[in-house]
Every structure is written in C-alpha cells, then in structure tokens.
Amino acid sequence: MTAKKAKRRCGQCQNRHSLSCVISSQPDRHILRKPYGPFGAGLHISVIETGRMYVKNETIDFYTANNDFSGERVVEKDHEIVQHQGSCAIRIWRNVQIEPFDTHWHTDLEIIVPVENWYDVMVEGKAYHLMPDDILIIPSGALHSLTAPDSGTRFIYLFDISSIASIHGFSELSTLLASPLHITKAAFPHVYNDTYQTLMQICTEYFSKSPLYELSVFSLLMNLFVMLGKNQLNSMNAFSNASSYKQQEYISKFNSVMEYIDEHFTEDFRLEDAAAATGFSKYYFSRLFKQYTGYTFCSYLMHLRIKAAEQLLEQPGLSIAEIAMRSGFPSIPTFNRVFRQQKHCSPTEYREKNNKLNPLSHRRG
C-alpha cells in the first residue's frame, strides 16, 4: 500500500509520528519505515516469527530502540564509525534493506542472523552464503561487504566489546573471535540451538528496553562466548594423539600461556619464553600453538599489539612513537608496517579518521 506521510495518528498503533507508515500485505504486520535509515524498516508488530522465535499476543517495537539514529551511516573511506545510543555499547537492527553495503570495517564485533531469505557476506576476501537461521560472527576490524536479495529480513548485531576484552580469561576467546565464525546446525550440532536462542534472547532484551537491559545483553553475550569457547576446546584435535589425561594437561598449560601472553605481550616476549613455560621444545610448541589458536606465535603477538595500539591512538596526547613503544613494537617502522598490513591504513591516518569523526563517536558513549 502507499505510505501515508506523518504527523497523523496511525490507525494501527494510535501514535503520532513523523515517519512513513506502511501497512504490510500481512495483516499482523505494521511497519514504521524511516526513509533514509541504512538498515531499512523498523517494525511495530503484534506477532513476529523469526526462525524458531515466536512471540504471540505481545507487542514488539523494533523501531523505538533505534529512534535516535540520524538516518545516515558515518563512513570515511572504508572505516565506519558505529553510532551507538548514548553510553550503550550495543546496536541491533532488524534489517530489510536490499541495497548492498560496500566494503567497510568497524571496531565493533558484528553478528548476522538471516531469518527470511539468504544473505551474502564477504569477509577479508572469503565469501559466506548465509541461509535463514545461519549465524555469522565477524571480528572487530575485519573488512567486509554485504549483499542482500530482492527481499528478506535479518538481524544485525553490533557490539563494542572493548569493555569486556580486559576481563581475566578473555584472551582464551581471542583466537575464536579473531576469524569469521559461520555457525550452522550441521557444523555446530552441540551448541547451535543454544547459540540461536541466546541471540534471540538478546534481541528481546534490546528491543523491549527492559530494566537493566544492557547488563542483561552483555551477560547473555558473555555466556554465548563461554559456550562457543568450551565447544572449541572440546572439538579441537590439537592434542588428539595424547591420552585424555595428557590432553587436559596440555590444554591447561596452553590456557596459562595464553593468559601470560595477554598480560605481557607489550614486553620483549619471545617464542622461546612461551615454549619454556609449557615444557615443550620451540619447534613442537610452534606446531601445537598453530593448531591450538590458528595463529603462528608471532602473528598472534602482533594481533594483540595492534589491538592495544588502536585503543592508544584514541588518546590525542600520545605520540606515534610512544604508542608504538607502549604497544610492544621494537621500532616505529615495524609498527607502521604491521599496522598498515592489518588495518589497511597508517597509524596516523587511523587517528585522523577517528579525530575527524570524534563528535559523533562521543555521542555514542
């Protein structure tokens, strides 16, 4: 049906608003459409069906939670500044947009869950064809693009996880969250249902804006990370040739090493030091470390140092040389080279982008 322009009392929700009202062809759906929002329609509906989540006789307002959004994304070159609401470190969209999102990156962790029709995602050159109820976790800082079909719906979650990344033990999850994670029922049979339901619970908390909803969302998110982390440990075959007792011993040693690296990565920390802590030779440790984390020891160390540098670059009083030193890099040229390799820009360019967009960045927290 043709959209009726605002400031009239809506026949469906009886509210006055300045947005376009569109009555869906499905009688139980009333759509409030923000004309220029990058994620298309927000919804005010009396019944929703999202995969296995079915809410009946209950109003779920998908618009109000995001009504602060300006209507325009903030992107310079390929760097997007996610606009969070006030001090909230969460943004969740019910996305129906059919236009593609060109290649971009942001510091937020992103999770995509299609609920109607497919959705194509390209992350760091690798293609993911998501079907309804698939789950894709995109790491912070990863270059990615999004392509939608002519019609469809999906939930897009954006989390600033910097506040929880310093929690003791979180380093054990850093390798899990450093690469895209495509979660399907076939690939993750033991945790898929719980993962999906947790994400739907997060949606309910966010859009209902219940008391302490942000704390509840991050509690659910932490539970999700722990569940996926334990699943990774249980399914890994890095120590498959060892006895069950030895496997637990090796895993315990590696967890201790990961914690130590997380606390000392800015120091002159060498492969030999890590190997000695586990009691393995340097060569055997290197092979096991790659199996256990998916990284070489050196690339994992650089990953941690670049993450630290990103946070330090937001502090205008620090020089590039001081940031390089505090992040654990032995020289400015090495810092500049590794930073450009991982972030596709120099440290100075990264800082300039953030400084230029800083007013909007402050608005989100």
- Residues forming beta bridges with residue 109, ordered by sequence position: 159
Angle between helices 271-278 and 282-293 (to 10 degrees): 90
Q: Is the pLDDT of residue 20 over 60?
A: no
Please state which CATH class domain 244-359 belongs to: mainly alpha
Q: Is the pLDDT of residue 232 over 80?
A: no
Tens of pLDDT, residues 109-153 = 999 999 999 999 999 889 999 999 999 999 988 899 999 999 999
Which of 20-29, 178-187, 280-289, 320-329 has the lowest average pLDDT? 20-29
Q: How far is CA 334 from CA 93, 327, 328, in A?
A: 39, 12, 11
Q: Is the pLDDT of residue 63 over 60?
A: yes
Under CATH, which number does the domain 75-234 receive? 2.60.120.280
What DSSP element (H or E) covers 135?
A: strand 135-138
Q: Is the dihedral of CA 235, 239, 241, 245 positive or negative?
A: negative
CB count in 10 Å sphere of residue 38? 18
- How many whole angstroms separate alpha carbon 242 and alpha carbon 345? 44
Q: Is the pLDDT of residue 201 over 90?
A: yes
Q: Is the pLDDT of residue 23 over 60?
A: no
pTM of the full predicted structure? 0.67
- How many whole angstroms separate alpha carbon 253 and alpha carbon 32? 54
What pLDDT band is residue 241 in, cutting at 50, 70 and 90?
A: low
Helix locations, the chain, DSSP H: 171-174, 192-208, 213-235, 244-264, 271-278, 282-293, 297-312, 320-327, 332-343, 347-356, 358-363
Q: Which amino acid is it at 183?
A: I
Locate CATH 2.60.120.280 in the chain.
75-234
Q: Is the pLDDT of residue 9 over 70?
A: no
